[in-house]
C-alpha cells in the first residue's frame, strides 16, 4: 500500500462516569501529502471494546485483523465476550513477540466490563492502564495539553465527548499530519459500542471551535 510510507494522526480515549469515549482525526498522510481526509481510525472489535490506531497503516490493520479473529475465537471457546483487558494482553504478546521486526503501531484500547477500561500500548508491547485519558499519534502533545486542562473526574458522557473532540481539534490545528474533514467518535458503555453520526461529531466540532 502506498500509504505505508508514513502516517500521522491524533487519537484519544477519555473515561467518563459510566464509560469511555474514543475519538480520532480522519487524515491519512503519505510523506508530506494529505493522502486521505476521510480515513477511519477507530475499529469496533466486539460489543464491549473498540481500538484506535496510529502509525503504519498496513501494520495497524494487520494487528487489528489478528485481534478481531482472536476475539471471535475467544467468544466461541469461553462463551463470553473478550474484554479490553484481555484484548490488551493479547496485543501485547503479539507486539512483544515481534519486537525485533516491530509493528509500527500505537494502539488505544477502550472497553466496558462493569466499569470503563482504557489502555494504551507501545510498539514493543508495553501496557499502560489509564484511569483518566490516553493519547496516541503525532498530535499527542497538543491533545495532551487540552486533556490536562479540561479533564475532571465524574464527567458525564456529553462532557467527555466534547473534551475528546476538543483534543482532536487541537491536534488537527497544530500537527501537520493530523486533519481530515471531520472527527470520528465512539462511546463504549453498558449499552455497548456505538459511533456518533457524522452530523453529531461535526456539531460538537463546530461548538468547540467557536467556544
Q: How far, rounded to the nearest angstrom, does the alpha carbon of residue 57 sit from its chain's CA centroid?
A: 14
The answer to whether the beta carbons of residues 139 and 10 sit under 8 Å apart is yes
- In a 13 Å sphere around the CA of 158, the CA atoms on its Cβ side amount to 2
Cell digits for 93? 504478546
The answer to whether the beta carbons of residues 111 and 95 sit under 8 Å apart is no
CA 39, CA 177: separation in Å to the nearest integer? 13
Residue 31 phi, psi dihedral angles, 5° rounding: 65, -120
Q: How does 48-64 read in b/e, with b if 16+ C-beta sit within 10 Å? A: bbbbbbbbbbebbeebb
Angle at 157 between CA 156 and CA 163, to 5 degrees: 90
Q: Which residues contact 118 (CB under 8 A, 6 or more apart)?
A: 13, 15, 20, 84, 108, 109, 110, 111, 129, 130, 131, 133, 134
Residues annotated as catalytic (active site), given as ranges: 9
Amino acid at each position: 500500500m502506498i500509504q505505508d510510507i508514513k502516517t500521522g494522526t491524533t487519537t484519544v480515549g477519555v473515561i467518563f462516569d459510566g464509560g469511555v469515549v474514543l475519538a480520532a482525526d480522519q487524515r491519512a498522510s503519505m510523506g508530506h501529502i494529505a493522502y486521505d481526509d476521510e480515513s477511519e481510525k477507530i475499529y469496533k472489535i466486539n460489543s464491549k471494546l473498540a481500538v484506535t490506531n496510529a502509525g503504519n497503516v498496513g501494520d495497524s490493520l494487520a494487528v487489528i485483523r489478528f485481534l478481531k479473529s482472536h476475539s471471535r475465537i475467544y467468544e466461541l471457546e469461553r462463551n463470553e465476550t473478550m474484554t479490553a483487558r484481555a484484548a490488551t494482553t493479547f496485543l501485547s504478546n503479539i507486539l512483544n513477540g515481534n519486537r525485533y521486526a516491530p509493528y509500527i503501531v500505537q494502539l488505544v484500547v477502550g472497553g466496558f466490563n462493569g466499569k470503563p477500561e482504557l489502555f494504551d500500548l507501545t510498539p514493543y508491547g508495553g501496557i499502560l492502564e489509564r484511569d483518566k485519558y490516553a493519547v496516541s499519534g503525532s498530535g499527542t502533545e497538543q491533545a495532551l495539553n487540552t486533556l490536562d486542562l479540561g479533564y475532571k473526574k465524574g464527567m458525564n458522557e456529553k462532557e467527555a465527548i466534547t473534551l475528546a473532540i476538543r483534543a482532536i481539534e487541537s491536534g488537527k490545528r497544530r500537527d501537520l499530519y493530523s486533519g481530515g474533514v471531520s472527527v470520528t467518535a465512539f462511546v463504549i458503555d453498558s449499552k455497548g459500542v456505538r459511533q456518533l453520526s457524522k452530523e453529531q461529531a461535526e456539531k460538537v466540532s463546530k461548538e468547540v471551535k467557536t467556544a
